[in-house]
């Protein structure tokens, strides 16, 4: 299978947001174990997650580290809008901007995964 996991929840969202990211990472780990083609992507306020998940004290850090090679990146435009650009660069998360909306607004393309028949899940 080809699975694209798109994390859009905000780490500032409390327990529900933590549950969403934990389930996203759990699906990613399960998919990786099954040998699926896997892409994990952060967009919207989800661009704030890598900074949190990279902390050794975070409860999902172990799962995050286990699927690190499957993290494709984060939306560049969303990162700029939600103040996450520096933290994404610090964690080594690539900034994606393959969907040009205007000269100054470039975000990642979710459509490309749909076009290529990826099973796409948003958390």
Interval 45-100: pLDDT, tens = 999 999 999 999 999 999 999 999 999 999 999 999 999 999 999 999 999 988 87
The model carries a pTM of 0.93
Nearest to 112 by CA among 31, 39, 48, 25: 39
Give the Cα separation of 39 and 32 in Å (integer). 10
Tell whether the torsion through CA atoms of 58, 64, 68 and 73 is positive or negative: negative
Interval 37-60: pLDDT, tens = 999 999 999 999 999 999 999 999
Q: Residue 78: what pLDDT? A: 95
Nearest to 112 by CA among 83, 65, 82, 73: 73
Q: Residue 43: what pLDDT? A: 97
Give the Cα separation of 22 and 24 in Å (integer). 5
Residue 104 has pLDDT above 80, yes or no: no
Q: What is the domain-level CATH number for residue 18?
A: 3.40.1260.10
Interval 3-41: pLDDT, tens = 999 999 999 999 999 999 999 999 999 999 999 999 999
Give the Cα separation of 15 and 82 in Å (integer). 20
Domains held by the chain: number: 1
Range of 11's domain? 2-122
Q: Kindly compute the dihedral angle of the four CA atoms of residues 10, 51, 68, 32, in this order, to the nearest 10 degrees.
A: -20
């Amino acid at each position: 299978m080809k699975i694209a996991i798109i994390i859009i929840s905000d780490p500032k969202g409390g327990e529900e947001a933590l549950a969403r990211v934990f389930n996203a990472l759990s699906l990613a780990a399960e998919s990786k174990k099954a040998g699926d083609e896997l892409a994990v992507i952060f967009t919207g306020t989800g661009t704030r997650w890598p900074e949190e998940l990279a902390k050794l004290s975070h409860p999902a850090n172990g799962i995050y580290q286990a699927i690190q090679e499957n993290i494709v990146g984060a939306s560049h435009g969303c990162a700029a809008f939600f103040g996450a650009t520096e933290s994404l660069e610090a964690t080594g998360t690539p900034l994606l901007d393959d969907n040009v909306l205007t000269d100054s607004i470039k975000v990642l393309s979710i459509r490309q995964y749909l076009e290529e028949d990826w099973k796409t899940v948003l958390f």
